[in-house]
């Protein structure tokens, strides 16, 4: 990956980190102000809990994004940035522009998503069969009572 491009990526990460910090600061101000608006009305109480929930989601999203940025920066340092972790082929620059934290090339990402989708379906099937099993197990008890 050429130096000019990784410098751009670094700059982009700095901007994103700045934006995240601003967002969190704005959310913290909202959270401080929210209780001041509360006059005991149920709707206002809702507003406070919604702000708390929003702040919580914001922070956990930003934390996971910061980890991704950190990992990408490490890769820039060790020279492995832009190399797919799965097939070790180069990730296209177009993909890295769109997703500078990408660890996989588009082909590997798509097959990973396909696999995740399939295992979600398997999970659903397991829940259904567990549910059926539960029903089956209840029958003998009913028979005992009868
Ligand atoms: Zn790949």
Residues with a beta carbon under 5 angstroms from ion ligand 1: 84, 86-87, 105, 108
Predicted TM-score (pTM) of this structure: 0.71
Angle between helices 42-78 and 3-37 (to 10 degrees): 160
- Ligand 1 centroid to residue 87 C-alpha, Å: 4
Based on the number of CB atoms within 10 Å of its own CB, is 24 exposed (0-12), middle (13-18) or buried (19 or more)?
middle
- Ligand 1 centroid to residue 105 C-alpha, Å: 4
CB 76 within 8 A of CB 6: yes
- Ligand 1 centroid to residue 52 C-alpha, Å: 39
Walk along the chain (146 residues) and give the pLDDT tens digit of each residue. Answer: 788 999 999 999 999 999 999 999 998 888 888 777 666 666 667 777 888 888 899 999 999 999 999 999 999 999 999 999 999 999 999 999 999 999 999 999 999 998 888 877 777 666 555 555 555 444 444 444 44
């Amino acid at each position: 990956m050429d130096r000019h491009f990784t410098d751009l990526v670094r700059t982009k990460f700095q901007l994103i980190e700045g934006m995240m910090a601003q967002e969190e600061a704005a959310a913290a101000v909202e959270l401080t102000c929210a209780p001041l608006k509360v006059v005991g009305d149920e709707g206002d109480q809702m507003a406070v809990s919604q702000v708390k929930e929003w702040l919580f989601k914001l922070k956990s999203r930003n934390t996971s994004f910061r980890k991704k940025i950190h990992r990408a920066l490490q890769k820039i340092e060790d020279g492995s940035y832009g190399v797919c972790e799965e097939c070790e082929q180069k990730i296209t620059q177009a993909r890295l522009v769109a997703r500078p934290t990408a660890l996989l090339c588009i082909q590997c990402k798509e097959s990973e998503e396909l696999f995740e989708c399939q295992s979600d379906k398997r999970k659903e099937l397991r829940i259904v069969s567990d549910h059926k099993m539960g029903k089956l197990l209840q029958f003998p008890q009913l028979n005992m009572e009868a």
